[in-house]
Amino acid sequence: MLSEVLLVSAPGKVILHGEHAVVHGKVALAVALNLRTFLRLQPHSNGKVDLSLPNIGIKWAWDVARLQLLDTSFLEQGDATTPTPELVEKLKEVAGLPDDCAVTESLAVLAFLYLYLSICRKQSLDIVVWSELPHGAGLGSSAAYSVCLAAALLTVCEEIPNPLKDGDRVNRWTKEDLELINKWAFQGERVIHGNPSGVDNAVSTWGGALRYQQGKISSLKRPPALQILLTNTKVPRNTRTLVAGVRNRLLKFPEIVAPLLTSIDAISLECERVLGEMGEAPAPEQYLVLEELIDMNQHHLNALGVGHASLDQLCQVTRAHGLHSKLTGAGGGGCGITLLKPGLEQPEVEATKQALTSCGFDCWETSIGAPGVSIHSATSLDSRVQQALDGL
């Protein structure tokens, strides 16, 4: 077992194009969002496993010895098992969670326990996980959590090597190791979500941009990093209801909605094409095309009935500053993305952020096409992140 501290981060995700249409077999583009989840793992010999999640105020501890005594034959040897509902129930008993434990808390703890017991149950550890990502906003925070856990646990148990070399500030695992990380992260996601698509953990593991259609996931080669504003309207919505609403509209008006979904598919494909061509030196015209695609897709999503007054306001505010936005994810509130093409005056960007914040929204200036799960040297992390991991 390793003894030095591990610092790992993984990005969240946004859907760039194709949300809702993807449910009906169309192409979606999911991109890594550079709002990241950070995990610090300190191996110990104190006989305890400590899990601390400052974002949701959780601190749990288990005795390694007691965990060792558990009959965990329900976890198969070797490859990652499908976490069934029964398995999750057994984990709950193991975890010793109180009945009144909040769902978010308990699922995060159970996912950790599942991965810990499956990957490296003998190790005493101190784990702190802190995220820049808001939870439950469709930005892949649970996947980033699972990816960080999988990467850190696999590395501390030496299932995969630590790619960080002397002098490195940051590094990434090999393709094969990332595949193993992703496989375990997906299992963690299954504990949390039951039946996830696997896209969120794939984006968080691989980074960059992925195309997703009918269950098949593939990476876009060398997509450019795009600067964006990520805005959370904080208007709650029920994803299931929104998805059902689109299905109902398709059933009610098939001749109207089916071609609309085809048009959205074509937007995703055109975006993929443009991103593929942008390479090292993207041209201004390419950013203009991206903006046109954003605008058209936003109108299409409104036509599908997943818009919301808060999102209209978001779009209006950014448009008043010459910027182009669309909802990302389920709609009905939630988040939107705004493209920041190169050459914008920073005061204009600041004014836009101010205007969005004045609407009561949260707003981050960040990027998409970000690196996937990475391992960092202790000194390379932002002091803000260090303090958060220190619980300050």
Q: Please, which residue, 90 or 299, has the CB nearer to a copy of itself?
A: 299
Strand partners, 217: 212
Decide: is 300 part of the binding site for a copy of itself (CB under 8 A). yes
**Minimum distance between the CB of residue 299 and a copy of itself, rounded to whole angstroms?**
4
**For residue 204, is it left (φ>0), alpha (ψ between -120 and 50) or beta?**
alpha
Decide: is 359 part of the binding site for a copy of itself (CB under 8 A). no
**Minimum distance between the CB of residue 36 and a copy of itself, rounded to whole angstroms?**
33
Selected binder of a copy of itself within 235, 266, 349, 359 (CB under 8 A): 266
**Minimum distance between the CB of residue 347 and a copy of itself, rounded to whole angstroms?**
23
Stretch that binds a copy of itself, among 76-84, 172-180, 257-265, 339-347 (CB under 8 A): 257-265
Decide: is 259 part of the binding site for a copy of itself (CB under 8 A). yes
Decide: is 299 part of the binding site for a copy of itself (CB under 8 A). yes
Residue 142 falls in the annotated catalytic set = yes
Q: Please, which residue, 259 or 391, has the CB nearer to a copy of itself?
A: 259
Decide: is 303 part of the binding site for a copy of itself (CB under 8 A). yes
Kindly determine how many residues on this chain lie close enough to bind a copy of itself according to the rule CB under 8 A.
24
**Minimum distance between the CB of residue 258 and a copy of itself, rounded to whole angstroms?**
8
Selected binder of a copy of itself within 263, 286, 377, 386 (CB under 8 A): 263
Decide: is 306 part of the binding site for a copy of itself (CB under 8 A). no
**Minimum distance between the CB of residue 277 and a copy of itself, rounded to whole angstroms?**
15
In the numeric block, the tokens 């968080």 are attached to 204
Q: Please, which residue, 138 or 307, has the CB nearer to a copy of itself?
A: 307
Three-state secondary structure string covering the chain: CCCCCEEEEEEEEEEEECCCHHHHCCCEEEEEEEEEEEEEEEEECCCEEEEEEHHHCEEEEEEHHHHHHCCCCCCCCCCCCCCCHHHHHHHHHHHCCCCCCCHHHHHHHHHHHHHHHHHCCCCEEEEEEEECCCCCCCCCHHHHHHHHHHHHHHHHCCCCCCCCCCCCCEECCCHHHHHHHHHHHHHHHHHHHCCCCCHHHHHHHHECEEEEECCEEEECCCCCCEEEEEEECCCCCCHHHHHHHHHHHHHHCHHHHHHHHHHHHHHHHHHHHHHHHHCCCCCHHHHHHHHHHHHHHHHHHHHHCCCCHHHHHHHHHHHHCCCEEEEECCCCCCEEEEECCCCCCHHHHHHHHHHHHHCCCEEEEEEECCECCEEECHHHCCHHHHHHHCCC
CA distance 202 to 195: 15
**Minimum distance between the CB of residue 301 and a copy of itself, rounded to whole angstroms?**
9
CA distance 262 to 268: 10
Q: Please, which residue, 25 or 161, has the CB nearer to a copy of itself?
A: 25
Selected binder of a copy of itself within 7, 22, 267, 368 (CB under 8 A): 267
CA distance 70 to 94: 8
Decide: is 295 part of the binding site for a copy of itself (CB under 8 A). yes
Catalytic residue among 9, 131, 142, 367: 142
Decide: is 253 part of the binding site for a copy of itself (CB under 8 A). yes
Decide: is 255 part of the binding site for a copy of itself (CB under 8 A). yes
Choose among 140, 142, 174: nearest CA to 155.
174
Decide: is 235 part of the binding site for a copy of itself (CB under 8 A). no
Q: Please, which residue, 79 or 312, has the CB nearer to a copy of itself?
A: 312
Catalytic residue among 200, 268, 325, 374: 200
**Minimum distance between the CB of residue 333 and a copy of itself, rounded to whole angstroms?**
16
Decide: is 321 part of the binding site for a copy of itself (CB under 8 A). no
Q: Which residues are catalytic?
A: 142, 200
Interface ranges with a copy of itself (CB under 8 A): 253, 255-257, 259-260, 262-263, 266-267, 269-270, 292-293, 295-296, 299-300, 302-303, 309, 312, 316, 319
